[in-house]
Amino acid sequence: MDRVQLLIGLSIALFSIGLLGVIVRRNLLVMLMCMELMLNGVNLSLVTFAHQMGEAVGAVLVFLIFVVATAEIAVAIPIVLLLVERKHSLDIGAYNDLKG
Amino acid sequence: MIETLLAGLDELLLVAFGIGALAGALLMIVLREPMRVATALISTMVFLGGIYGLLGVHFIAAFQVLIYVGAVMVFMVYVIMMLDPRDPAIQSRFSRLLVPAVIGFVILVFVLVGAAWQGAPEAPAAPRETFGLQQFAAAFVREYWLHFMVATVLMEAAIVAAVAVVKLHRRGRG
CATH of the domain at B68: 1.20.120.1200
What is the extent of the structural domain holding B68? 1-86
Look at the pTM and tell me if it is higher than 0.80: yes
Kindly state whether residues B7 and B77 are assigned to the same domain. yes
With beta carbons under 8 A apart, name residues in chain B contacting A56: 131, 135-136, 139
Cβ separation A51–B55 shorter than 8 A:
yes
Report helix angle B34-55 to A3-24, nearest 10: 160
Beta-carbon contacts of residue B152 (< 8 Å; ≥ 6 apart): A67
Asked if the structure places residue B70 within a domain, the reply is: yes
What is the complex's ipTM, to 2 decimals? Answer: 0.92
User: Which of B71, B16, B123 lies closest to A52, judged by CA?
Assistant: B123
With beta carbons under 8 A apart, name residues in chain A contacting B45: 40
How far is the alpha carbon of B1 from chain A, nearest alpha carbon, in Å?
23
Q: Are B68 and A68 in contact (CB under 8 A)?
A: no
**Helix and strand numbers, DSSP H then E, in chain B:** 8, 0
Asked if the structure places residue B103 within a domain, the reply is: no
CATH of the domain at A17: 1.10.287.3510
pLDDT at B122 over 80: no
Mean pLDDT over B120-134 rounds to 63
What is the extent of the structural domain holding A31? 3-98
Beta-carbon contacts of residue B64 (< 8 Å; ≥ 6 apart): A43, B45, B48, B49, B52
Query: What DSSP string runs through B94-117?
Result: B-TTHHHHHHHHHHHHHHHHHHHH
The domain total for chain A is 1
Asked if the structure places residue B31 within a domain, the reply is: yes
**A interface mutation test: which of B41, B107, B134, B156 has the most A CBs within 10 A?**
B41
Query: What does the pLDDT look like over A39-60, one tens digit per residue?
Result: 999 999 999 988 888 777 888 8
